[in-house]
Amino acid sequence: MTINCAEACVNGCVLGDKYPNLEYKAKAAKFIRETSLDQMLEMAEEAIRKKRTAPPQWILPEE
């Protein structure tokens, strides 16, 4: 069964225990529990800074 989570799960996961990525759900919950909002904001700012200072990556169309 294929489900579009972005549409079907707007108000929460409809798959429950059948969710195929429970491992990631647990990791995300642990991260949220153990990481302060200030730390998350610092991480986001660092990621944005790296992205802005990174050289451009060219994507060439296949011939």
C-alpha distances in angstroms, 61 versus 47, 54, 55, 56, 57? Answer: 27, 21, 19, 16, 13
pTM, two decimals, is 0.56
Number of domains in the chain: 1
Whether 41 is in a domain gets the answer: yes
Domain membership of residue 8 (yes or no) is: no
Question: Residue 62 falls within a domain, yes or no?
Answer: no
Q: Please give the pLDDT value at position 63.
A: 65
Name the residue range of residue 21's domain.
Answer: 14-52
Q: Residue 13 has which token pair? A: 């996961």
**Which residues of the chain are under the pLDDT cut of 70?**
1, 63
